[in-house]
Structure formats: structure tokens, C-alpha cells
Chain A
Amino acid sequence: MKENQWKDYYQILGIKSDASQEEIKKAFRRLALEYHPDMINGTKEKFQEINEAYETLKNPGKKELYDIEWRKERLPKPKPIIKPSVVSYKDLEPRKPIIATFIVENLGGPFESVSFKTSHKDYVKVINWEPNEKAIEIKVEIKLDDWDLTMEAYVIVRLDGETTYATIKAETKSEPTSDSEPEYHYHTQTSTPPSSQPTYSSSKINWTPIFWIFAAIFLLFVIIPKSNNDSYKNKNIETTQIEIPTTPVTLIADESFSPEVTRAKEIMGKNFIGPETVMKHFNILLDEEGVEAFKKIPFSEKTLLAHKDDCILVADFGISLASLEKIFTDKKDILFDTTEDSNYNITFKDYEAVRKHQWHLIYKSPLPNPTYKNYNEQINYLPKGLYILKVASIAYAALLYHLKTQEYLFFDEIPNSNDKIEKDISGSDIGTIKDKNGNKKNAHGTISYYRHVLNSMVSIAFGAKYNDYNDYYTDIYYAPEFDGDPFKTRTIYLAVALKPEK
């Protein structure tokens, strides 16, 4: 909405709001002369602005309408406050919705509209609201779909452009031994004081908290692009317990982590993607626990030396695909479809899931010694000491490697989902992606179009989801030769990494 940015015409002409037509005309003539593009001080933009102001103010009809806007602009902005700012629920049952109630009060000026949004729309939905005299009551349904889940979500509320938000922390129970489907019905639960770790993960793995990263990503990609410029200026989000950095991130140099990290950087050279690179390119912070997590490299110096050319060592901050996607789309030089036309981003399980902080030593080419085997056969072939990376990790690594070196990982590996290889990984297409000219294409069939690893990575992510992979492993599968029978001869490449040694 930048093109419609509101301008103070009285200020532009340097006059009071009650100036007479004579005064307006006088001011215009003086300024038009001074700022005419032919004059020393003159610029086209300034001259146009003066003309625009005069065109409006000299016309009584237009002036009247503008004055209404002008007065509105001078009113104090609304200042929403949401209560409670944090709610926590523990021991929830999967698929059994509970309803949380929030009250939004306005401590500022008048507003015309209220908007709601939640960060995890599959699990947290605004289901009702009632505006009262002084406040708006909002009801939010929380429904997690599995046992052993913890989630931190946000309910974002805006009064006109001014934003506030509340944090919802929720955990489901551990799976009981005997299966009994919980009944589906609505009931409310009172909030308990916040205590759980702010993570969204499966508790089967002990995820490291990602508090700051999440908060920073949240601010960078959720609030700011959706708010107007004015709301960005309002840095005092008093209603939340999370202090969100609004200044550029202070980088922590790789060398300041530990001598081990410094040494690893020396060994790996351009194949080292340390926390510094991540922070620089993604503009995100690392909390203390994150710093701790990256101090130790889980590989021996010998292993690093052996793989300094064929692997990359990556500090995985555990950013979700959802956030990665936003980073992708933010970079104009990287061709990536926003997936707005893609079927495949809607129900992808774990699309918003984050991972723990960890170092990966990833092969720059897919599974060494690829074989003409199908997916399952190739998993069995997986050499000892390697593991298959998750899509989110590989997309993350590929993106950072590209940003750092301008080179592509898996350059020749193109997903071709028209290979109906196995029932569980077949699919007619895997979503829309963009070719290098920015044209949208369906990502199936035509191998030669998509020699772009970043597209591939994320397409795979959605492709995997489309096939409803619970574990969303990377399967870069592609058929270099069909031999007349596309269903017989094919190669599936798996993106793999070395298992941590220590």
C-alpha cells in the first residue's frame, strides 16, 4: 500500500490547516517556483508533490474530503492490549478441541477494523469474537492432532494497523497404552501459568528451545510484512513477555564459539556454513542454548579432513519449512514459487515444525554410488554411518550454500515425480515452480527445465507432503534414462549426511 501513502499536504505547502484559498495559492506559487525542476533546488519529485498538494487543496470538494482524512490521521493510533498474553495447556488429548478466551482492549485512539490471525492455522483457529463497549472478546480453538506434541503458537490481533499478540503453549499427553478415541466436543479449560519450554516439536526427541529464533522469525516474517509502516514504528509491544529485537541482529563470529568451531571452519573452507553465515543471511538471532549447542562439533578432525571437499558442515538452526519458504520468497535472485497456486502447502504435516540445533555433515552429492534401485531398496543400501536428511534440513542447507557461494547443491538432480516408482512416492505432479525466466511450470515430467536446486529442494518438500510422508525424507528421485520403460529403470538419489560421531 506504499503507493497510496498518506501525505500531509498542509505540511508540504508549509501552511496551517485553516489557511485561506489565497494563502494556499500564494504558498503554492512560491514553492513551485523554488522547486521547479529547472531551478537549483528543484527536483521532479518535490515539484510533483507540491502540485499534488495544490491540486487537492485548491478544489473545495477535494479539500473537504481530504480534511476528513487529515483529521483522522491526526487522531491517536489505536493501542491494542491482549489479555492474557500467555496461556498454557498441558495434558491435552489429541483431536479434542479446547477453547481459550482472550480480551483485547484498546488504550489508544479509535479504530475501524479488527483483524485476527494465528501462527499455526491447522491447530489454532479464531472461532468467535464479540465486540463490547471497551473490549473485544476473542475465542480461539486449540486442537492438536497427536500425542506427545508441544506447540507454541501466536494469536495475532490488529486494530487497524496496530498489532498485539498472545502466546499459546499447549502440550498433549503421552500416548496411553490402551487405545481409546477421545470424543469430540467443545469445552473450555482455564489457563495455567506459563511454564513449558517454548518449542513446537515431538517430545520423542529432546528438541532444543528455539525461543529467539522463533520470535525473530515471527517478527520478521509474520508481523512486519503484514503490518503497515506505522505499526512497525511502534516498537513498544508492551503486551507480550517476549522482547522482540527490532534492530539489526548483532552477529556472533564463528570464531567466538569455540576453538573447535574455528578449526572446523579452517578445515572446511567454503564448505563451512557456521552460525555466523546463518545469522547473516537469515537475519536471525541465536539464544544462549543455541550458542551452547553449536560449540561442540560432533565430528573428529580426521573425519572433517576426509570430507572437506565432498561434504558441507552446516549449523542447522532448525528453522521450519514455513519460515524457510518466506526467506526464499524474500530473495529476488532466488527463483521460488510462493506456492500460492500449489495444492501442496496446505496440509503438509510438520510444515511448521522446527528441529533442534545441530551440526550436519552433508554430502554435496546425493547418496554416494547411486544405484538403479527404487526408494526402499536404496534405503536398505544406505551405507553404515549415513542417514537420510529431512527435507527441511536439506532445503535449509542448500539455500545457505547458495547464498554463501552462489553455487548449487545437487545441481543435476531434478525431481521428476512422473516416475511412478512406488505407490507411496508416486504423484502426478509436485506443485508449481518457476523456471529461470520466472514462468510458472508444473514440476513434473520435464527434467531439463528445473536445473535449480532450490526449486527442487522445496518442490520435493511439497512433493513429499503431497504423498503424505510422515517423515518427509528427501527423495531426490530422477530417471536419467527410461530405456523405454519409465517404471523399470530409474535412479533414486537420497540426500544423505554423516551420522554424528560424538
Chain B
Amino acid sequence: MKKSLVSDINLKHEIESTKNDNDEITVFLSKTLSGCIYLVIDCSASMRGEKLSSVKEGTKNFALNAKAKSYLIGLIKFSSEATLVAETQTDLINIYHKIDELDTNGTTNMADAIIMASEKLERQNGARIMIIATDGMPNDEEAALKAATQAKKNEIEIIALGTDDADEKFLKQIASSSSFGVKVSRNLIGKAIATTAKMLKRPGG
């Protein structure tokens, strides 16, 4: 059995729990880098409004906690095409700027986004993780699945979070394990992203 880079907490349960224990952030000052993460955010037209605001808030929260666990964080958005928004880094202020600038349009080209994230991650050391947040089905389901399968072969962990029109079965298929594919109600999508930070292992952890 392959060793997972992220801990297998009950993500769904964690997301739906109302416990708010992210008040204190603890950073272990280690010189070791835990790994790299790309947040792959659906910015298709249907994400407009509260959903995207929620995703932005959750993504910032995630970035903060991921940095505390010594991860580099990068950002890819996708609508009709995939766009690299930020290379992996630890400059959170810059990441926040980029997150604030995210806007919505177009369709759901998830496959290209997965391919882009995989190519970026393949060159990185340590744990390599991709977190996808979406509210719908991709333009080309088969291509997205194929890209995800290839990424997983290259030891990239995929966590897939969805809401609204996203199909939970599909999310589970593209995710590294079925418990990493989760569909939540739209008011929880931001929290879902933030919560995945809990799954990240610390260096050597």
C-alpha cells in the first residue's frame, strides 16, 4: 500500500463540525520543507458571488495554516482555460492579493487545470498535493479523470471538494481516495478548503 502524504482524517465530518479550533496557529520552525500544494480553483461563471467569496476566504485561511506546516502554496484557476495565478511560495501577502483578484467567467475546464498543476508539482520535492474546488461538472469529464489518474500515478495527492452541481461520485474518482472527494453545501465550500489544512502532515510527521 502506498504511503499517503496527507492524513486520512474524516474530512466530511471535519467540514461539517462547527468546532472552530483554528484560533491559534502554531509554527514549528524547521528548516525542512513539508511539500508543495497547488490550490486549483474553479472560477467559472457559476462560481460568481457568495460562492467565490467563500472560496476566497477559505483559500486564505488554508494558505495560512499550510504555511504554518511548512508548505509552499501555489494557485491555479480554471474557467474555459487554466491559468497559473501564483507559483508555489510562502509570501502570503502576495497570495492574498492574487486570491482577491480572482474573478469568474467562462466554463469548467478542469482537465487543463489538473494537467497544469501536475506539471508544476512533478518538479517539486516533498509532499505534492493538489486541492481542487469546484461547483460543477467539468467540460470534459473523461479528460479530467485521465489527467487525475496520471497525476496520482506520479504520486501527487488529490483532494477534490465540490458543491452545488458537482457530482460526489466524480469527486471521489478524481481524488486520491474516496474520503478525499467530498461534496458539501455551498455555504461550506470555503470552510471545506480551510479544513483540508488539517490533513496536511508536518515535516517528518
Contacting pair B17 A128 (CB below 8 A)? no
**What distance in Å separates the Cβ of B99 from its nearest Cβ neighbour in chain A?**
11
Report Cα–Cα, A114/B93, bound state, in Å. 19
| A126 (CB) vs chain B CBs: closest residue | B25
Annotate A109-146 by CB proximity to B: 1 below 8 A, 0 otherwise. Answer: 00111111100010000111101000000010000000
Report Cα–Cα, A256/B67, bound state, in Å. 55
Annotate A241-260 by CB proximity to B: 1 below 8 A, 0 otherwise. Answer: 00000000000000000000
Q: Which residues of B contact A346 (CB under 8 A)?
A: 18, 20
Contacting pair A184 B27 (CB below 8 A)? no
Report Cα–Cα, A186/B97, bound state, in Å. 8
Total A-B residue contacts, Cβ distance less than 8 Å: 55
**What distance in Å separates the Cβ of A105 from its nearest Cβ neighbour in chain B?**
14
Contacting pair A112 B29 (CB below 8 A)? yes
User: Is B125 in the interface zone, CB < 8 Å from A?
Assistant: no
Further 11 A-B residue pairs, CB within 8 A, beyond A126-B25, A128-B64, A129-B27: A112-B28, A112-B29, A115-B26, A116-B27, A126-B64, A127-B93, A128-B67, A131-B27, A342-B18, A345-B20, A346-B18
Contacting pair B24 A116 (CB below 8 A)? yes
- Report, as a range, how many residues of chain A touch the other chain: 20 to 34
Contacting pair A128 B25 (CB below 8 A)? no
Q: Which residues of B contact A117 (CB under 8 A)?
A: 23-25
Contacting pair A115 B100 (CB below 8 A)? no
User: Is B19 in the interface zone, CB < 8 Å from A?
Assistant: yes
Please, could you name 9 A-B residue pairs with CB atoms under 8 Å apart, sorted by A? A113-B27, A113-B29, A116-B27, A127-B60, A127-B93, A127-B96, A131-B27, A185-B100, A346-B20
Report Cα–Cα, A184/B25, bound state, in Å. 25
User: Is B92 in the interface zone, CB < 8 Å from A?
Assistant: yes
Report Cα–Cα, A345/B25, bound state, in Å. 20
Contacting pair B29 A131 (CB below 8 A)? yes
| A338 (CB) vs chain B CBs: closest residue | B19
**What distance in Å separates the Cβ of A458 from its nearest Cβ neighbour in chain B?**
16
> Contacts A113-B28, A113-B29, A184-B100: A139 and B93 contacting too (C-beta < 8 A)?
yes
Contacting pair B93 A128 (CB below 8 A)? yes
Report Cα–Cα, A139/B25, bound state, in Å. 13
> Contacts A186-B93, A343-B18: A127 and B26 contacting too (C-beta < 8 A)?
no
Cross-interface CB contact of B92 among A114, A121, A128, A226, cutoff 8 Å: A128
Within 8 A of A (CB), among B28-64: 28-29, 60, 64
Q: Which residues of A contact B60 (CB under 8 A)?
A: 127
Q: Which 7 A-B pairs have the closest CB atoms?
A: A128-B92, A117-B24, A115-B26, A343-B18, A113-B28, A340-B19, A114-B27
> Contacts A127-B64, A341-B17, A343-B18: A115 and B24 contacting too (C-beta < 8 A)?
yes
Q: Which residues of A contact B18 (CB under 8 A)?
A: 340-343, 346
**What distance in Å separates the Cβ of A109 from its nearest Cβ neighbour in chain B?**
14
Give the dominant DSSP class at B's interface. Answer: mixed
Annotate B89-103 by CB proximity to A: 1 below 8 A, 0 otherwise. Answer: 001110011001000
| A113 (CB) vs chain B CBs: closest residue | B28
Report Cα–Cα, A258/B100, bound state, in Å. 57
Contacting pair A113 B26 (CB below 8 A)? yes
Contacting pair B93 A341 (CB below 8 A)? no
> Contacts A184-B100, A341-B19, A343-B18: A114 and B26 contacting too (C-beta < 8 A)?
yes
**What distance in Å separates the Cβ of A122 from its nearest Cβ neighbour in chain B?**
11
Q: Which residues of A contact B17 (CB under 8 A)?
A: 341
Report Cα–Cα, A184/B23, bound state, in Å. 24
| A432 (CB) vs chain B CBs: closest residue | B18
Annotate A161-189 by CB proximity to B: 1 below 8 A, 0 otherwise. Answer: 00000000000000000000000111000
> Contacts A128-B93, A139-B93: A115 and B27 contacting too (C-beta < 8 A)?
yes
Contacting pair B24 A226 (CB below 8 A)? yes
Q: Which residues of B contact A340 (CB under 8 A)?
A: 18-20
Report Cα–Cα, A345/B23, bound state, in Å. 13
Annotate B117-146 by CB proximity to A: 1 below 8 A, 0 otherwise. Answer: 000000000000000000000000000000
Report Cα–Cα, A116/B23, bound state, in Å. 8
Q: Which residues of A contact B93 (CB under 8 A)?
A: 99, 127-128, 139, 186
Q: Which residues of A contact B20 (CB under 8 A)?
A: 340, 345-346
Most B CB contacts (10 A, CB to CB) among A117, A128, A129, A341 go to: A128
Annotate A331-343 by CB proximity to B: 1 below 8 A, 0 otherwise. Answer: 0000000001111
Most A CB contacts (10 A, CB to CB) among B17, B18, B93, B97 go to: B18
Contacting pair A114 B96 (CB below 8 A)? no
Q: Which residues of B contact A121 (CB under 8 A)?
A: 23
Report Cα–Cα, A184/B28, bound state, in Å. 32
**What distance in Å separates the Cβ of A279 from its nearest Cβ neighbour in chain B?**
28
Q: Which residues of B contact A129 (CB under 8 A)?
A: 27
| B95 (CB) vs chain A CBs: closest residue | A128
| A346 (CB) vs chain B CBs: closest residue | B20
Report Cα–Cα, A343/B64, bound state, in Å. 23
Q: Which residues of B contact A112 (CB under 8 A)?
A: 28-29
| A99 (CB) vs chain B CBs: closest residue | B93
Q: Which residues of A contact B25 (CB under 8 A)?
A: 115-117, 126
**What distance in Å separates the Cβ of B204 from its nearest Cβ neighbour in chain A?**
13
Report Cα–Cα, A126/B28, bound state, in Å. 16
Report Cα–Cα, A117/B64, bound state, in Å. 13
Report Cα–Cα, A131/B18, bound state, in Å. 32
**What distance in Å separates the Cβ of B86 from its nearest Cβ neighbour in chain A?**
14
Report Cα–Cα, A342/B18, bound state, in Å. 6
Report Cα–Cα, A497/B158, bound state, in Å. 58
Report Cα–Cα, A341/B16, bound state, in Å. 10
| B94 (CB) vs chain A CBs: closest residue | A128
Report Cα–Cα, A126/B92, bound state, in Å. 11
Report Cα–Cα, A116/B64, bound state, in Å. 11
Within 8 A of A (CB), among B61-98: 64, 67, 91-93, 96-97
Most A CB contacts (10 A, CB to CB) among B20, B67, B91, B100 go to: B20
Within 8 A of B (CB), among A336-394: 340-343, 345-346
Q: Which residues of A contact B29 (CB under 8 A)?
A: 111-114, 131
Q: Which residues of A contact B97 (CB under 8 A)?
A: 186
Report Cα–Cα, A340/B23, bound state, in Å. 12
